[in-house]
Amino acid sequence: MMRERGAGGWGVWVVGVLLALGGAPACGDEGGAAGSSSASDTDSGVSVGSSGALTSGAGSSGPGTVDPSGVEPSGSGTGSVEPGTGEPSGTGTGTGEPSGTGTGTVDPSGVEPTGSWQPWADRVVWPEGERRAGGFGYTNSSPRRVDPGDGGEALVVVGAATDDDAQGEVVAWDVADGRERWRVRTRGEIFGSAVSVSRADGGVDVLMAGRDATLVRLDASTGAEVWAFDPEAEDEPGSWFNFYSPTVVGDVTGDGEPDIVVANGGDVMAEPFEPRGAGHLVLLSGASGEVVQRLRAPDGMETYMSTLLLEAGAGGEEPWVLFGTGGETFAGSLWRIPLAALVVGDAGAFEELVAPVTHKGIIAPPVLVDLDGSGVEDIIAPMYDGRVVALSGADGSSLWEVDVRGLGAEGWPELETMSSPALGRFGEERVLAVATTWSIGAFPAFTGGVRVVMDARTGSVLWWDVDDTGFAASPVAVSLGGGGRDAFVFVSTSPGPLAESTELLVLDGLAGPEIRVRWPGATLGTPWIGEGAAGELVMWRPVYGVDGVDDPAPGRSRWWVDVHRLGVEAPAWVAWPGYLGYGGAGRWTGP
């Protein structure tokens, strides 16, 4: 997700923030969620509390959407939240059974948080991280594990912006021991996440995308440049803006290498509501990086959303490319186009899946999962206007829709998200759930954050939480206690160019608690969580801030990566290890 504000001040800071939130991204501060009761552990720095769980009950969904009218709040305990303030108010918690006919949209009004869970902090330790040196500047990139394909150790790769020459860099570390493997400078900031490309010789390269039409292909083993996109070599060089994390497709050009689909757009120099150039959907040669096709956004709007490939269905249908338009201040839609149509440049083949209802569009990429067992992947899309929409991958019809602004006693006039959802198996029944994060208010004046977990198949709200952090990275999901159940891990930072701390919230849908930890620095990219040395579960968290360590110019921002060793054995499979899941495909790979 990326920012569209002008240069200078904290407009620059936010630029691209929310690309990573997935980078984008997101930020968090030290405030606890409104409406939660907490007991702090002063030795560990961990606080454990309770806030909004909602039993989904037996509500029906069918092919339509859930209508949980009739959910009656009951009991006492945690509170609701005043719109736009993030401050707790009132009493009252809610349990209840959603009911309805499976048509219409979800109306979560009146659904209040409930639940009181016991700590399980003794199972997993969340220590401060071991720092891996970055440099002066900042990072909005989300770390990703990459197998270099040379028989060597797996890598974690992350991008950044440098503050001395308005350029960028890409750094790779060995997963096992954290040693830096290589470091490469780039023409512009890198805020995208590493996307792997397999070579014919068995090796692996990585694609890294960023600001001002920066897109490079690097050898994963050495960092050597294979090619770098040059907008000056293209027609209308001034019409090229930011590249977002690309999608690798098959060899559709016949050059012997997998080819690349990528979105380009987002004029960061334009002010809110100021007209800006249209975004484009681009097909590049994987071998050379040359433009094969470039289609203008069908509505002429900007684009900030990374593309995804909706795979062929059980009947062997052609795959589709998902493409999003609009932003914080301009309406836009979620579109799809057959990959075959893109290859031949058929601009009339775009199909609108979700239309705008306000002046906002879509920034965060959707996630893909077969919701009805048909063998065709379906789509769960977080719109920038506060809606979550589930769509049939077979025909594009609506499966369910939730307007998250309706949560709580009075709701919020505006909720916005630049963060892609995560998928995991939630609660005792291992419900396939989707976790989303939202900012209260309108960019950049955010007053708090909302986290929501929903049943992915029905849209029923299972849990929600409010706090005073304004930017949230995309969540991750991992099994911490076994039993085929996952915990959702949320990371958020409060607004401001020099945020002092990041809050981590861990939600175990079975045993319960929220575990809250605060660490120094701002985290705008989504952490990566998976197997480290000796099979231990580790989390790599991108950070930037001002700490004065070895700083010849106090006040300069610097970035780094913290490696948190969690003290437990890594599970054989991690449900959602980082931004957009495994490999950045946005695809559920579990049962």
Task: Tell me the two tokens of residue 169.
Answer: 């860099």
Tokens 């029905």 -> residue? 458
Q: Is the pLDDT of residue 315 over 80?
A: no
Query: Which has the closest alpha carbon to 210: 267, 159, 285, 279?
Result: 159
pLDDT at res. 270: 82
Can you tell me the distance from the alpha carbon of 3 to that of 20, in angstroms, rounded to the nearest whole number? 11
pLDDT at res. 160: 96
Task: Tell me the two tokens of residue 302.
Answer: 């900007």
Averaged confidence pLDDT in the chain: 79
pLDDT at res. 148: 93
181-238 residue pLDDT tens: 999 999 999 999 999 999 988 999 999 999 999 999 999 999 999 999 999 998 888 8
Query: Which has the closest alpha carbon to 287: 326, 324, 257?
Result: 257
Maximum separation of any 2 CA atoms in the chain, in Å:
66
Q: Is the pLDDT of residue 147 over 90?
A: yes
Q: Is the CB of residue 154 less than 8 Å from the CB of residue 205?
A: no
Q: Using the 8-state DSSP alphabet, how is residue 241 labeled?
A: -
Lowest mean pLDDT among 231-240, 253-262, 539-548: 539-548
Q: Is the pLDDT of residue 533 over 50?
A: yes
Q: Band the pLDDT of 316: cuts 50, 70, 90.
A: low
Q: Is the pLDDT of residue 415 over 70?
A: yes
Percent of the chain with pLDDT over 90: 55
Lowest mean pLDDT among 31-35, 215-219, 332-336, 413-417: 31-35
Query: Which has the closest alpha carbon to 495: 88, 9, 51, 129?
Result: 9
Show Cβ contacts of residue 232 under 8 Å, excluding neighbours closer than 6 positions. none
Lowest mean pLDDT among 37-41, 66-70, 441-445: 37-41
Can you tell me the distance from the alpha carbon of 505 to that of 473, in angstroms, rounded to the nearest whole number? 12
Output the CA torsion 194→423→561→206 (10° steps): -10
pLDDT at res. 356: 97
Q: What mean pLDDT do residues 133-151 have?
A: 91
pLDDT at res. 518: 84
418-434 residue pLDDT tens: 999 999 999 888 999 99
Element (H, E) at 423: strand 422-426
Q: Is the pLDDT of residue 38 over 80?
A: no
429-476 residue pLDDT tens: 899 999 999 999 998 888 889 999 999 999 999 999 898 888 899 999
Q: Is the pLDDT of residue 523 over 60?
A: yes
pLDDT at res. 579: 98
pTM: 0.82
Q: Is the pLDDT of residue 9 over 50?
A: no
pLDDT at res. 511: 54
Residue 562 has φ and ψ, to the nearest 5°, of -95, 130
Lowest mean pLDDT among 17-21, 396-400, 475-479: 17-21
Burial class (CB within 10 angstroms; exposed 0-12, middle 13-18, buried 19+) of 156: buried
Q: What mean pLDDT do residues 362-375 have?
A: 94
Can you tell me the distance from the alpha carbon of 453 to that of 422, in angstroms, rounded to the nearest whole number? 9
Q: What mean pLDDT do residues 87-96 have?
A: 31
pLDDT at res. 435: 98
Lowest mean pLDDT among 118-122, 252-256, 537-541: 118-122
pLDDT at res. 373: 86
pLDDT at res. 516: 84
SS3 sequence of 12-64? HHHCCHHHHCCCCCCEECCCCCECCEEEEECCCCEEEEECCECCCCCCCCCCC
Q: What mean pLDDT do residues 272-298 have?
A: 95
Query: Which has the closest alpha carbon to 243: 270, 264, 259?
Result: 264
Q: What mean pLDDT do residues 269-274 have?
A: 82
